[in-house]
Amino acid sequence: MKEFVKIFDTTLRDGEQSPGATMNVAEKVRIAQQLEKLNVDSIEAGFPISSQGDFDAVKTIAKTIKHCEVTGLARANPQDIDRAWEAIKEAKHPCIHTFISTSDIHLKYQIKKTRQEVIKIASQSVARAKRHTSNVEFSAMDATRSDVEFLIAVLEAALRAGATTINVPDTVGYAIPSEFGELIRTLRHRVRGIEKVILSVHCHNDLGLAVANSLAAVQNGVRQVECTINGIGERAGNTSMEEVVMALRTRNDLLHLQTRVNPKHIFSTSRLVSKITGMVIQPNKAIVGANAFAHESGIHQDGVLKEKLTYEIMTPQSVGISKSSLVLGKLSGRHAFKDRLKDLGYELSDQDLELAFTRFKQLADKKRDIYDEDIESIVIEEVLRVPQRFKLIYLNVVAGNVTVPTATIRMEVDGKPVQEAGFGDGPVDATFKTIKKLTKTKSKLLQFAINAITSGTEAQGEVTVRLEEKGYAAIGQGADTDVIVASAKAYINALNKMEFKKRKLVGM
């Protein structure tokens, strides 16, 4: 039978200590409910004595959450402990987490206590918490920079007082995995009574080793990991919950351990935390980053298309992402390009595929982001030759700071001349609105960009527009020394492509 590693999530407490990540009560409750859905074992809801707002948030979460432990943090003093209990006492599974520093540097400069005083305070604090609840966690802050003999003495005092979880924090992210694993091994062998309780770790990421240290600890007998969603937290952050969970799941062959977390909710939880805290997830972030299941190298794309296991050690679906993506760019090969064309509904001959692929490579050298509509434009313009249902004949625009921008346009629609005038918020807006009236289309403008092709005041401008209508999308381009004319050309170009695409897809 496989053993479980408890996941103690401190996103709402330590994660909130990230600069700018402060959350209100409603936001904290929403994240707590998502963490319960994710099925973490324990939610550290906050630090109740730190503010009235945090107290209210912890109290509300304690009343709301039914299946997870709800933990309140308290320094090792009576006021903190009693306040924490007031906040969590209505929880189905309450826990008080109390802590005190044990490193000499903290004792000397921060708390100004002797070693004997710390041992006494640790014992008294755990005992006080124990009067409120049977579930008490004790942490020796800055354990990895503490004298081992003293650390053992403090932990034994906490155990004698009734602690049910002993937490060993790498508070400043100082430890190296081999060193941290050895410390855990030493504590397991030498701390009397530690085998009867849960041994936990709380690692910070100052050297980028929080996950590695947590896994080293797990390999040496730790059965609870304290972590945060997206690894957010003080300074460089905390152990990333999603990375620990998926490492245990993916390397179960080596670690033989599992968690109770439902990984299919990892991605949605990650996005929720990012949205609420405003902390953007870096694209190359493991598990949940935008590039985690994206492949751009032609060699990698070819391998993934033949067998996903060649370059994916876990499926995107396992963490709640619908599918992996092949990012088409200048490094992509024919196999990936042909596969994307097939997804878009185009089956080309070898000759047409070569023509389209050559044009794609030329575009990829100039353009960083290649959209599906870019690829369709290549096929439509270079291979299928889109018919010009709409043509621009004449354009006149009046604009300025004392007049309403007005566009007068004459076009050919299905070979028949039509003319119309319209107003807008600016010359381009008036032009686009008038074109929509003439063509009787209802496209939504998704993107509008202008680039100068040549230099100087007489530079030719190239305009790119991206339109969407009823689920169809198309990119159009136009060039002219007058950017209003270039804009009209680009808009009409996109409309022609969209009309062609709609007719092709509905079989007309």
378 with 501, same domain: the answer is: no
pLDDT in tens, 13-43: 999 888 777 888 999 999 999 999 999 999 9
CB atoms within 10 A of CB 118: 22
Better-predicted residue by pLDDT, 322 or 3 = 3
**b or e along 40-66 (b: 16 or more beta carbons within 10 Å of the residue's beta carbon)?**
bbbbbbbbbbbeeebbbbbbbbbebbe
Is 287 domain-assigned?
no
Reported confidence tier of residue 272, pLDDT bands at 50, 70, 90: very high
pLDDT at 360: 80
Number of compact structural domains in the chain: 3
428 with 370, same domain: the answer is: no
Structure tokens at 383: 């291979």
Is 231 domain-assigned?
yes
pLDDT at 386: 64
pLDDT at 460: 64
Is 284 domain-assigned?
no
Reported confidence tier of residue 508, pLDDT bands at 50, 70, 90: very low
pLDDT in tens, 113-123: 999 999 999 99
Q: What is the pTM of this model?
A: 0.69
Is 285 domain-assigned?
no
- Whether the Cβ atoms of residue 25 and residue 37 lie closer than 8 Å to each other: no
Structure tokens at 241: 């919950």
Average pLDDT of the chain?
A: 88
- Quote the domain boundaries for residue 340: 294-384
Give the end of a domain, one of 334, 358, 384: 384
Residue 179's domain is classified under what CATH number?
A: 3.20.20.70
Give the end of a domain, one of 223, 249, 277: 277
228 with 83, same domain: the answer is: yes
430 with 377, same domain: the answer is: no
Residue 458's domain is classified under what CATH number?
A: 3.30.160.270
Is 351 domain-assigned?
yes
DSSP secondary structure of 453-482: SS-STTPPEEEEEEEEETTEEEEEEEEESS
48 with 110, same domain: the answer is: yes
372 with 330, same domain: the answer is: yes
363 with 410, same domain: the answer is: no
pLDDT in tens, 300-328: 555 655 666 665 677 778 888 766 655 66
Is 379 domain-assigned?
yes
225 with 119, same domain: the answer is: yes
The share of the chain scoring above pLDDT 70, in percent, equals: 88
142 with 9, same domain: the answer is: yes
Count of alpha carbons within 13 Å of 96, Cβ hemisphere only? 32
309 with 432, same domain: the answer is: no
Give the end of a domain, one of 277, 305, 339: 277
380 with 328, same domain: the answer is: yes
pLDDT at 471: 78
pLDDT, average across residues 145-149: 98
CA 366 – CA 484 distance, rounded (Å): 23
pLDDT in tens, 347-378: 788 888 888 888 888 877 776 666 766 777 67
376 with 408, same domain: the answer is: no
Is 282 domain-assigned?
no
